[in-house]
Amino acid sequence: MATINVYTESTPNPSTMKFLVNKLLINGSVDFPNKEAAQDSPFAQELFKFNFVNGVFFASNFVTITKTEDAEWEDIEALLKDFVKGAVESELAVKAVHHDSEVNFEGTETEVKIQQVLHDYVRPAVEQDGGAIHYKSFNEGIVTVELKGSCSGCPSSTITLKAGIEGLLKRMVPGVTEVVAEAM
């Protein structure tokens, strides 16, 4: 068995930290914004046993953990790093979700183009910061997305959404006039 290495990266959201491992944890992503949502995830359930864990998000080779306001990263980072290493080594299940490696977009030609741009250009950047973005709808020029992981509740997500994602979609997809995030 290969040695599991865990390293951390801060995210634009000061309440979240990204714990990266040298092993694929899940194909796709899954968000557990609270303890109740984590029912089918042994890994997330164990993380929520820590009273300072407020949210858990998994994607490819990382888990983004959101802490409570009263916790300080310098007090809990090493503990969480050790826990993640042990959980990955013991192959604690993230969730029984399997996504097809081929992505299928649905909807009108414009909706498919929006989803393609989000998948190809926005998703990799957002995942790098420990989050995820999901397309919800397109109606009368307005694209609605859902932000997960470190993006959910991040102070800089509004800037990213308006300056980055909205600008990109307006340039690449005729008819897009605005991008909004759906509240979680």
CA–CA separation, 59 and 25 (whole Å): 7
Give tens-digit pLDDT for 104-116.
788 999 999 999 8
CA–CA separation, 94 and 43 (whole Å): 5
pLDDT band at 32 (very low <50, low <70, confident <90, very high): very high
CB atoms within 10 A of CB 91: 10
Q: Which helix (H) or strand (E) holds 137?
A: strand 131-139
Q: In the chain, which residue ranges form alpha helices assigned H by DSSP? A: 42-48, 73-89, 109-117, 123-128, 157-159, 167-172
pLDDT band at 98 (very low <50, low <70, confident <90, very high): very low
66 pLDDT more than 90: yes
129 φ, ψ (degrees, to nearest 5): -90, 10
Nearest to 30 by CA among 129, 132, 106, 101: 132
Tokens coding 20: 């990266």
Mean pLDDT score, 67-75: 96
How are beta strands 16-21 and 26-32 bridged, if at all? Answer: unpaired
Give tens-digit pLDDT for 146-171.
888 777 777 777 777 777 888 889 98
Quick one: pLDDT at residue 100? 47
Full set of structural domains in the chain with CATH = 6-90 (3.30.1370.70), 109-183 (3.30.300.130)
Quick one: pLDDT at residue 97? 43
155-178 as b/e: b if 16+ CB within 10 A: eebeebbeeebbebbbeebeebee
